[in-house]
Amino acid sequence: MIDLIIFDCDGVLIDSEIISADVLIEELGLVGIAIDRAYVRTHCLGRSFPTVAKNIRESHDQKLPEDFEQRYRSSLLTRFETELRTTDGVESVLEGLIIAKCVATSSSPPRVTRSLAITGLNRYFGTQVFTASQVERGKPAPDLFLFAAKQMGARPERTLVIEDSLPGLSAAAAAGMPHLAYTGASHLRGLGVELPDGTRSFDNWSDFPHLLTTF
């Protein structure tokens, strides 16, 4: 019953969220704003950078330097070059899939392009990569997933979304798409993850082929 699988990128395909959190914490510390990983998980995970920056400005009542985003992205991509890895086992899953697949992410186009290239996952998706910059509203609005499904020629009810964040899972539900929560990346491993009611989760990609047969 599934014609398309939409994969989120950060925290699903690539184990990047810990790196992203640490870089954000470091860069904010340089401008006098103190946050921790728990703050990032609650307020930043799955959201676009403009949304994250707006939240930080409002919650800390402090403007960010005009070049903050540029500095953050530059530092992040530098760390990615040597530290970025795929999530354990995802390549085997992608290798065996015969169902159409694409990526839909809140990351910027340059970041997701480089992330997929560094990890070698670009060979599985080619140009089938969609970002929040292509829609009016990012996650938790359904716009990105609906846009991706339309571009791929799939109906929402026959599109499965794999997400790690509450905004992403909410977006999938709002789009009328079946969805699964992946909780096996470093930023969620070993934590009690709060999920929307009725959401099924898995933390090992070896379980995914079986889960796919249940839709």
Mind listing the pLDDT tens digit for each residue in 64-108?
Answer: 999 999 999 899 889 999 999 999 999 999 999 999 999 999 988
Among 161, 67, 168, 79, which Cα is nearest to 115's?
79
40 — pLDDT class (breaks 50, 70, 90) = confident
**Same domain? 112 vs 30:** no
Q: What is the pLDDT averaged over residues 157-164?
A: 97
**Same domain? 111 vs 207:** yes
- CATH number of 90's domain: 3.40.50.1000
Residue 193: CB atoms within 10 A of its CB come to: 17
162 — pLDDT class (breaks 50, 70, 90) = very high
- CATH number of 63's domain: 1.10.150.240
**Same domain? 116 vs 148:** yes
Asked if 118 contacts 48 with a C-beta cutoff of 8 angstroms, the reply is no
Structural domain boundaries, residue 123:
4-15+84-212
Helix (H, G, I), strand (E, B) or coil at 64: coil
**Same domain? 70 vs 114:** no
Q: What is the pLDDT of residue 141?
A: 96
37 — pLDDT class (breaks 50, 70, 90) = confident
**Same domain? 100 vs 198:** yes
Give the pLDDT confidence of 186-215 residue by residue, as tens digits. Answer: 887 766 667 888 899 999 999 999 999 999
Q: What is the pLDDT of residue 197?
A: 81
**Same domain? 186 vs 95:** yes
pTM of the model: 0.86
Residue 109 pLDDT > 80, yes or no? yes
- Helix axis angle, 143-152 to 166-174, nearest 10°: 60
Helix (H, G, I), strand (E, B) or coil at 29: helix
Q: What is the pLDDT of residue 190?
A: 65
- Give the chain's domain count: 2
- Peptide linkage before 209 cis (omega within 30 of 0): no
Q: What is the pLDDT averaged over residues 37-57?
A: 84
Q: What is the pLDDT of residue 192?
A: 61
